[in-house]
A and B are shown apart, each in its own frame.
Chain A
Amino acid sequence: MATEEKKKELLEKLRNAVIQYDEDTAKEAANEALAVGLEANDAIFNGLVSGMVEVGKMFEAQEYFVPELLMCADALYAGLDILKPHVQQLDLGVKGSVVIGTVEGDVHDIGKNIVKMMFDVAGFTVYDLGRDVPLDKFVQEQLRTDSDLVCLSAMMTTTMTGMKKVIDDLRAKNPNVKIMIGGAPVSQDVADKYGADGYAKDATNALKDAINMIESLKKMKDEVEAKKAK
């Protein structure tokens, strides 16, 4: 087992590899972490993800721009690919599955991919429909996979309106599913108007909200089942 000091050093190395968008170092640090017996979970969350959270802040502060953000995400995945097979059990209190995609007519999927990455990291089962996804497909996929959560993304105001239709159709088929929307033109107002359960302005918030939602959903299910049992 590694000493505390060595652990700390490796977590810092993973974190900095993501911030410095250095794929090679991310891989190297991930392998070292496994070699000294650092828990994969620990390495992912206190190393890689901690770095990505910092990157998110830098992006918000306009210190980093789109290219840096993308390269950081690549560095995170480089480390994640090595660590993920060694994850014993991700314990976030919640496990969920999510259907995610960019709505019909819209090919902008950078934001969607970053949100997807956060779900991946958190151990969700992710059904990624990609971009320019026909509206019906979201409903079909939710029914097929019985996912707890559907995430819709749109970059343009013209395609954003498609979200409303998906939300209405999903509600008609399955009132319990939680729906989150995101993308440049989306705001809390839009989310309220369209009847979405959540709106997230960035990937970190999306993950937090998603976990809260799934928690409340599971609680609701438990309560219903408890009543039935009586």
Chain B
Amino acid sequence: MKTSLKRELRDHGATVVGIAGLRGYLSGEIAHLDRAVSIGVDRKLNEDTLALLVKLQKRTVRFLKARGHRTLAIPPDSDRKKGTFISQLYSLFNHKMAATSAGLGWIGKNGLLISPDHGPRLSLATVLTDAQLTPDRPMAHSLCGGCTLCIEHCPSGAITGADWSRSQPFVEMVRLADCRSHKMNKRKTEGKPNCGLCINICPYGRQNGSNLRHG
């Protein structure tokens, strides 16, 4: 079932798909849904990334429900309808945790999911389920090594330089207040809060240059 689900999602545009085993890591309300299907789509300046992710997520839900399993779709962060009942539970779970647990990548110094092949350029969605899919091997620690490009290029000096590891999940990696205030300033001066230098500068997933963007 795992293989056919993965194949179906890839056939329909998913860049990467992984299965996370989360038994013992979830809060009580969602503890019975202890597998996560983590779906990543390479943004590549693609405006339809969000629509594609939502479609893939629905496809996953249909696939699992048709086989008699429960699902809880956690939508991409930028597609969260407020005011629904279920939206109250979204904050209990985070896409990056699913992605690292499913072995799709690690958390880089810039606080983002880094995929070995696609760098920090994946947008994520997650479907929690009780279907007992075999989990992929989780990522244990960071592969950023000695690279400090994102630290050097961060305009707000928000990146602490700490290395992520699964065994120490509560280390501060990005000073969020600094990052946020920088983006708010950008909003004032440029109309948009965009920054993204730590994404553009990351050497992972940039080998062929096709993803290279200049901030």
Number of interface residues of A (CB under 8 A): 15
A53 sits at the interface (CB 8 A):
no
Q: Please state if A113 and B65 are interface contacts (CB–CB under 8 Å).
A: no
Q: Which residues in A have their C-beta under 8 angstroms from that of B88? A: 70, 110
What does the 1/0 interface line of A96-128 toward B look like (CB < 8 Å)?
000000000000001001100000000000000
What does the 1/0 interface line of A17-36 toward B look like (CB < 8 Å)?
00010101000000000000
Q: Which residues in A have their C-beta under 8 angstroms from that of B58? A: 24
Q: Which of B153-173 contact A (CB under 8 A)?
A: none
Q: Which residues in B have their C-beta under 8 angstroms from that of A66? A: 29-30, 89
Expressed in whole angstroms, the minimum distance between the Cβ of A190 and any Cβ of chain B is 24
Q: Please state if B65 and A20 are interface contacts (CB–CB under 8 Å).
A: yes
A40 sits at the interface (CB 8 A):
no
Least CB separation from B58: chain A residue: A24
Expressed in whole angstroms, the minimum distance between the Cβ of B71 and any Cβ of chain A is 9
B78 sits at the interface (CB 8 A):
no
Q: Which residues in A have their C-beta under 8 angstroms from that of B197? A: none
Number of interface residues of B (CB under 8 A): 13
A110 to B70, CA, bound (A): 21
Least CB separation from B30: chain A residue: A67
Q: Please state if A74 and B85 are interface contacts (CB–CB under 8 Å).
A: yes
Q: Which residues in B have their C-beta under 8 angstroms from that of A113? A: 85
A59 sits at the interface (CB 8 A):
no
Interface positions of A (Cβ within 8 A of B): 20, 22, 24, 65-68, 70-71, 73-74, 77, 110, 113-114
Interface positions of B (Cβ within 8 A of A): 29-30, 32-33, 58, 65, 70, 72, 84-86, 88-89
Closest 8 CB pairs between A and B?
A70-B85, A70-B86, A73-B85, A66-B29, A74-B84, A67-B72, A71-B86, A74-B85
